Amino acid sequence: MRTTVSVHNRAVFDDLMGQGKGLIVALPHAGNWDHAGAFFCAEGFPLVTVAEHLKPERLFRKFLAYREAMGMEVLDLDGKVISHLEQRLREGRLIALVSDRDLSATGVIVDFFQKKAKFPPGPARLAITTGAPLITAYVSYTKEGIHVDFSEPISLSPRIESIENEVERITQEIAKNFERGIRSRPEDWHMLQRVFIEESAAERSERPLP
């Protein structure tokens, strides 16, 4: 397992985990996420994540069992997960959240590849409410297995006057980091559902020509 994974900025990851505040990792649908999760569980960092409740129920249960067998704790998105995630961060745990598609009614609109997209606010809100550090990761394929590229920590504003504005700012930073990863290895981004928000005719007419 360990010989099939290479990691950029591993020292950043280890330093942040060593602070005892927990760590939030936001990542897009790229590369083999399960491979990366299994690797960090094997390294002694059993992670907590959230999964969309799939149908049929039998398929969802098999999906949970598959990831739990690797050492992951998988929370059902249909449940009240925020308080559970906050508790896990207070325990110093690793939280990994796939964050390039919003599944709620409270998504944050971001600029993503010069278009509008809606990203989940969860990673930013968790960082604000718990003080846990937040980084992004891009997972890509290699001949040996996978490569995990961690970002530097996304900083919180020293004085937050508006939580909503801070959530929007942080989520936009996440989107920028995802762009960089996708531009470097676009073939490994496998988001197969709608990400971008359709523009109205008026918005398209106001867009500057390339």
In the chain, domain spans: 2-206
Statement: the pTM of the whole predicted model exceeds 0.85: yes
**Could you report the per-residue pLDDT of 119-151, keeping only the tens digit for each?**
999 999 999 999 999 999 999 999 999 999 999
- Given this model, what pLDDT does residue 202 score? 43
Q: If you average pLDDT over every residue of the chain, what do you get?
A: 89
Q: Output the CA torsion 131→96→117→76 (10° steps).
A: -110
With a pLDDT cut of 70, the percent of the chain lying above it is 92
Mean pLDDT for the stretch of residues 182-203: 80
Euclidean distance between CA atoms 166 and 206, whole angstroms: 27
79 pLDDT above the threshold of 60: yes
Give the integer Cα–Cα distance in Å for 148 and 9: 9
Q: Using 50, 70 and 90 to split pLDDT, how confident is the model at 56?
A: confident
